[in-house]
Amino acid sequence: MKLVLTADTHVPKRARDLPEPLWRAIDAADVVVHAGDWVDVALLDRMESRAARLVGVYGNNDGPALRARLPEVARAELGGLRLAVIHETGPATGRERRCAERFGDVDVLVFGHSHIPWDTVAPGGLRLLNPGSPTDRRRQPVATYLTAEIHDGALTDVTLHPLPRR
């Protein structure tokens, strides 16, 4: 099962559209995970029309229209892997411990908000992933998104994709 992980797209405030390499990855994925800060419901509509399956949440920059359609926390079982998605996890210090306490019943937690790619494992084995942002790199050298695969209930081939500067 092929996954695309993205967050903090901020379309159309930070970019008019998603970068074409990300759209191609979305088109090829079995599941697309979006960890919030869409900003405009039109992007949700477009992503829903192109993704085979979409698992998404709202973020702190998402207004009432997006909050009416998306949860604050999403959970999904994907090929035997237990996944949770949330936008914000708080400060980096202590993140693994906090998330392991709150999401100890899942294998992988995808989050956003910081625009900073993150890949760590918490005590107890919870994998935490932040794909960064494909449109607003902030203090990062490049904008990014993640891809991964699920084989026999395990997450494999987690790859951070840098995007060309716009």
Supply the pLDDT for residue 129: 98
Check which CATH number belongs to the domain holding 52 and give it: 3.60.21.10
Give percent of the chain above pLDDT 70.
99
Is 165's pLDDT higher than 80?
no
Question: Residue 27 corresponds to which tokens in the numbers above?
Answer: 């088109």
How many domains, the chain? 1
- What is the domain extent for residue 64? 2-163
Q: In what order do the strands lie in the sheet with 127-130?
A: 73-78, 81-86, 108-110, 127-130, 118-121
pLDDT single digits (tens) 90-141: 999 999 999 999 999 999 999 999 999 999 999 899 999 999 999 999 889 9
User: Which residues are bridge partners to 73 per DSSP?
Assistant: 86
Supply the pLDDT for residue 166: 65
Supply the pLDDT for residue 22: 98
pTM (two decimals)? 0.97
pLDDT single digits (tens) 90-104: 999 999 999 999 999
In 99-142 the beta strands, taken as DSSP E runs, fall at 108-110, 118-121, 127-130
Give percent of the chain above pLDDT 90.
94
85 touches 57 (CB < 8 A): yes
